Amino acid sequence: KSVTVFAPATVANVVCGFDVLGFAVNAPGDEVVMRVTDKPGITISKITGDNGRLPMDPAKNTVSVSVKHYLESIGRSDLGLDIELHKKMPIGSGLGSSSASTVAGLFAAKTILGDDRDPIALLPFAMKGEEMACGQGHADNVAPALFGGFVLIRSYEPLDVVRLPHPKDLWCAIVFPDVDVPTREARQIIRKKVDMKDAVTQWGNVAGLVSGLFMQDIDLIGRSMKDVLVEPVRSMLIPGFYQMREMSMELGAVSFGISGSGPSVFAFTRDEATAQKITEKLQSFLEGMKIDSFSYVSTI
């Protein structure tokens, strides 16, 4: 028996919602092919698209470790599973690359086992994978990778995840400048304490964004996507961040910000053509700075 599962890239934080908001795009994403084997235990037979960066050792790979925890939780450690992982997006890009792989692996195992519980049952195991990948088990990449669309992590303890609606005509332009910003380090540099004044601004914006999603009000979504807590620090790690924002807004973006912990940036637009124009402009700007880049245009 064999199954193939795709899981999408995700944009965590959505500017103002650090660790509590995220959404999935249609593409890119990762693919896991999983087969039942005769011998108990998990093996990884193949990884493609990672330039040899990911461990083939099942004790060290986030996909196999998460699947192992899941099998243990349902008393099926007797099962033999082989994993092929096909990475179809850059690693360390701020697009939830490890989350997409982990979610695809967990979903494949769930399907093979005929476990018909709600996919939310997989979330704690996917979060374990995040903890392994970057030191903390945040859920704002794995939850949208699992459910699709927009997701709010209302609470971590206890875990309370809310799926949110979004306007149909919202497009997303993503540009990945190929510079190194490891999530683990991007989490270490942010401030541990915040001023009440900043907190008030931030929760006003989070509430505004969530309201805008429910009301299908793209203007409200746009003016709520401001971050006074994390972006001012993390933007320093992204070359030309504020210039890229200005260029995107001039071309008609609804909003612009860092995707997850960066270095990818994203803009919301009302149509595909504007998203396309933004990716072209930002990529040629990065090229001028001798920085390689990839771009994606997607609906949500």
Count the residues of the shown chain that bind ligand HSE, applying the rule CB under 6 A. 14
Per CB under 6 A, contacts with ligand HSE among 47-86 are none
The size of the chain, in residues, is 300
Neighbours of 89 (CB within 10 A): 23
Q: Could you tell me the two tokens for 4? A: 């193939």
Least separation, in Å, of the C-beta of 185 and ligand HSE? Answer: 10
Which of 142, 218 has the CB closer to ligand HSE? Answer: 142
166 lines the binding site for ligand HSE (CB under 6 A)? no
Which of 44, 229 has the CB closer to ligand HSE? Answer: 229
13 lines the binding site for ligand HSE (CB under 6 A)? yes
Q: Which stretch binds ligand HSE (CB under 6 A): 10-18, 44-52, 100-108, 109-117?
A: 10-18
- Residue positions annotated with a catalytic role: 130, 183
Contact map string, positions 169 to 188, toward ligand HSE, x by CB under 6 A: --------------x--xx-
Least separation, in Å, of the C-beta of 238 and ligand HSE? Answer: 13
140 lines the binding site for ligand HSE (CB under 6 A)? yes
Would you list the DSSP string of 202-218? HHHHHHHHHHHHHHT-H
166-170, Cβ contacts within 8 angstroms, sequence gap of 24 or more: 166/23, 166/213, 166/216, 166/300, 167/213, 167/216, 167/217, 167/218, 167/221, 168/216, 169/218, 169/270, 169/271, 170/218, 170/221, 170/254, 170/268, 170/269, 170/270, 170/299, 170/300
Residue 100 annotated as lining a ligand binding site: yes
Least separation, in Å, of the C-beta of 219 and ligand HSE? Answer: 25
Q: What is the dihedral of CA 83, 76, 9, 158, to 10 degrees?
A: -160
295 lines the binding site for ligand HSE (CB under 6 A)? no
Spatial strand order of the sheet with 171-177 comes to: 255-258, 265-269, 171-177, 293-299
Residue 99 annotated as lining a ligand binding site: yes
Residue of minimal CB distance from ligand HSE?
260
Q: Which of 168, 272, 234, 173 lies closest to 13, judged by CA?
A: 234
Instruction: Give CA separation, 201 vs 16, 39, 176, 262, in Å.
Output: 10, 56, 28, 22
Which of 19, 217 has the CB closer to ligand HSE? Answer: 19
235 lines the binding site for ligand HSE (CB under 6 A)? no
Neighbours of 236 (CB within 10 A): 10
Residue 98 annotated as lining a ligand binding site: yes
94 lines the binding site for ligand HSE (CB under 6 A)? yes
Residue 165 annotated as lining a ligand binding site: no
231 lines the binding site for ligand HSE (CB under 6 A)? no
Q: Which residues pair with 53 in a beta bridge?
A: none
Q: Which stretch binds ligand HSE (CB under 6 A): 47-55, 138-146, 196-204, 249-257?
A: 138-146
Q: Could you tell me the two tokens for 260? A: 């997850």
Q: Which amino acid is at 271?
A: D
Residue 90 annotated as lining a ligand binding site: yes
Dist CA 71 CA 78 (whole Å): 9
Q: Could you tell me the two tokens for 115? A: 């476990």
141 lines the binding site for ligand HSE (CB under 6 A)? yes
Could you list the residues known to form a binding site for ATP, using ranges. Answer: 90-100
Binding site, residues? 90-100
Task: Report the interface residues with ligand HSE, using CB under 6 A.
Answer: 12-13, 18-19, 94, 96, 138, 140-141, 183, 186-187, 260-261
